[in-house]
């Protein structure tokens, strides 16, 4: 009886798998990179041809580069790095992406009552003092 119940449950789970409308000729294409945003990166694409996967890969890399040019704290030429160098009491025009990120910093600071505080003053304080969460 236990064997029948186990088989039934197994078939139930197999039958409950989500149905995917993907052509039979699709496969997974993998691309590996080093030193992308300072780390290794593995991209996986499902496509029907290598050309299709390469187009998706290039589009992903272009978007990663674009976002890095805005948000990187390591690239001195990124928008975020330039913003960090400005006087914090002086208004500076920033892109919508950077503005949205800064708003999210503030939102998470409020949601967590300051437990998560990624504000620029705190971040630069960590860099200058080499401390994390105020501990030496």
pLDDT digits (tens, 9 = 90+) for 107-121: 999 999 988 887 655
Residues 81 and 134 in one domain: yes
Q: Are 119 and 109 in contact (CB under 8 A)?
A: yes
Residues 32 and 79 in one domain: no
Residues 99 and 131 in one domain: yes
pTM above 0.95, yes or no: no
d(Cα 61, Cα 31) in Å, to the nearest integer? 11
Q: Which two tokens stand for residue 87?
A: 């006087």
The 3-state DSSP class for residue 129 equals helix
Query: pLDDT (tens digit, 9 = 90+) per residue, 69-82?
Result: 999 989 999 999 99
Residues 29 and 85 in one domain: no
d(Cα 27, Cα 47) in Å, to the nearest integer? 6
Residues 102 and 56 in one domain: no
If 0-12 CB within 10 Å is exposed, 13-18 middle and 19+ buried, where does residue 88 land? exposed
Q: How confident is the model at residue 20 (pLDDT cuts 50, 70, 90)?
A: low
d(Cα 44, Cα 67) in Å, to the nearest integer? 19
In a domain, 107, yes or no: yes
Q: What phi and psi values does residue 112 have, to the nearest 5 degrees?
A: -105, 15
Query: pLDDT (tens digit, 9 = 90+) per residue, 22-73?
Result: 567 899 999 999 988 889 999 999 999 999 999 999 999 999 999 999 999 8
């Amino acid at each position: 009886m236990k064997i029948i119940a186990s088989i039934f449950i197994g078939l139930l789970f197999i039958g409950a798998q989500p149905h995917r409308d993907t052509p039979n000729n699709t496969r997974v294409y993998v691309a590996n990179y080093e030193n992308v945003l300072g780390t290794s990166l593995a991209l996986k694409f499902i496509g029907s041809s290598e050309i299709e996967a390469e187009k998706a890969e290039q589009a992903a890399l272009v978007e990663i580069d674009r976002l890095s040019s805005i948000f990187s704290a390591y690239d001195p030429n990124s928008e975020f790095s330039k913003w960090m160098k400005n006087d914090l009491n002086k208004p500076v025009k920033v892109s919508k992406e950077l503005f949205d990120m800064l708003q999210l910093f503030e939102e998470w600071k409020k949601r967590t009552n300051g437990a998560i505080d990624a504000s620029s003053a705190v971040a630069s304080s960590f860099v200058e003092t080499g401390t994390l969460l105020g501990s030496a």
